[in-house]
Amino acid sequence: MNKKILFTIIPKGYWIILAVAVSFAAIGGEYLKLANIGINFLIFLIGLKLAILIHELGHLLFARIVGGTPRRMILGKGHKVAETRFKGVKIILNSNFNSGLAYAAFDNLKLIRLRLLSYSSGGFLTNFFVASILFLAFDFSTNASDGIQFSSAIVLANLLTGISVLIPHYSSYQGLRLYSDGLSILRIPFLKKSNLVELSSVNELLDAYDLFESKKYREAIAIYENFQAKTEGSKTANINLSIAYMKLGNYEKAVQLMEELLPLVNEERFAWLKNYIFNGIAWEYLLINKLDEADKYSELAYNANQNTEHIRGTRASVLIEKGKYEEGKNLLINDVDFNFPNSQTLAASIYVGLAFHELNEHKKAEKYVNFVEENLDLLDIDERTLYERSKEKWRYITDAKNEYAN
């Protein structure tokens, strides 16, 4: 297990709790109760992550039972830490392991509403099953100061996880609105026929997304365009098609595809994607230097959702391009993580470096410029476009560095 995975599963704060608890245990006496409370709290926190894993496995297991095909499990949000495949399921661990997602495909639409009910219920049912088995097999106690209560902490973690997802509510992942299990179950009877028909294409769409993540954009485009043709131009794949063309450097086609969605954002089938559409077209307008349009749509996306890194990053980048350096920098600087060089952190570094440069804080700018230039091979075409544009403005930084080296 590498360091990033270890500290994702057991973050630094957990180690501090462990250290404090061990210190109390070493003192002994009355402090032993505090040590037990600390250890049990730590087990509970780790148990919550285990409960998330159990929950997502439950979704995929129940999907398999009713004839679906388990395809993908995402553990957490933030930056990708690790990725693997197990029995055809792509498993992704992200840096902020406090939530999860599971994806399954249903090619056979016979009794599809019952299949979806089983799939949506599988997570919390598995949590409750694990909690019940542990409750019956081991002594249960809520007295955290009375010894180590391993099974009790795991029982509570699974119960809380199962109950929390039953509450109907929305959440967000990368700017997309997601439904809790409870809300998904309530929506199943009201799903339109068009929604159900599109379920039969989930397998190929996930194939396309796998290709997309592997930066095989042309192959992904072929699948998305085939899907559009089969669904008689539903335009539901326009977003991913637009981004794929953008990643190939065809900005004109990318903008055209996204602009086709603008008149549709208030329709039910696209309303949940509205912020994603606004953010996508704002980024593409930024690439072609239509800053007024980029400003308009990035502001719409940001005002609706300020907590998503991609939306916040686009808004900050536009502000910096328009000369609002301090405001843009303050929005963006916390999204740079030098431990994770990827599209998001490198794009953020380009603009944080540019903002510091324009604010005449050249030493601070150099740190971000160096981070980008050390990882140029990781930049996609769109990020490379912004890098080349910004490089002309901060060129003297690299010139000064080269002169010092000589």
The 10s digit of each residue's pLDDT in 243-274 is 999 999 999 999 999 999 999 888 877 877 88
Task: Label each residue of the chain as H, E or C.
Answer: CCHHHHHHHCCHHHHHHHHHHHHHHHHCCCHHHHHHHHHHHHHHHHHHHHHHHHHHHHHHHHHHHCCCEEEEEEEEEEEEEEEEEECCEEEEEEEEEEEEEEEEECCCCCCHHHHHHHHHHHHHHHHHHHHHHHHHHCCCCCCCCCCCCHHHHHHHHHHHHHHHHHCCCEEEECCEEEECHHHHHHHHHHCCHHHHHHHCCHHHHHHHHHHHHCCCHHHHHHHHHHHHHHCCCCCCCHHHHHHHHHHCCCHHHHHHHHHCCHHHCCCHHHHCCHHHHHHHHHHHHHHCCCHHHHHHHHHHHHHHCCCCHHHHHHHHHHHHHCCCHHHHHHHHHHHCCCCCCCHHHHHHHHHHHHHHHHCCCHHHHHHHHHHHHCCHHHCCHHHHHHHHHHHHHHHHHHHHHHHHHC
8 A C-beta contact, residue 200 and residue 217: no
Q: Which of 110-119, 174-183, 226-235, 332-341 has the lowest mean pLDDT?
A: 226-235
pLDDT at 268: 77
387 is a domain residue: no
Residue 5 to residue 350: CA distance in whole angstroms: 27
Which domain does 57 fall in, by range? 1-191
Residue 83 in domain? yes
Structural domain contains residue 292: no
Question: Is 90 exceeded by the pLDDT of residue 402?
Answer: no
Residue 379's CB is within 10 A of a number of other CB atoms, namely 19
Residue 80 falls inside a structural domain:
yes
pLDDT for 406: 46
Inter-residue contact 98 to 39 (CB < 8 Å): no
| Percent of the chain with pLDDT strictly greater than 90 | 67
Answering whether pTM is above 0.75, one says yes
pLDDT above 90: residue 173: no
Structural domain contains residue 394 = no
Instruction: Work out how many domains the chain is built from and give that number.
Output: 1
Please give the residue that has the higher pLDDT: either 193 or 241. 241
Asked if residue 263 is part of any domain, the answer here is no
* Residue 162 maps to a domain: yes
The predicted structure's pLDDT at residue 405: 47
Q: What is the mean pLDDT of the chain?
A: 89
Domain presence at residue 49:
yes
Mean pLDDT of 373-391: 93
How confident is the model at residue 205, as a pLDDT?
84
Q: For position 242, what pLDDT does the model report?
A: 95
**What is the pLDDT at residue 396?**
58
Say how far apart CA 207 and CA 83 lie, in whole Å. 16
Greater pLDDT, 195 or 307: 307
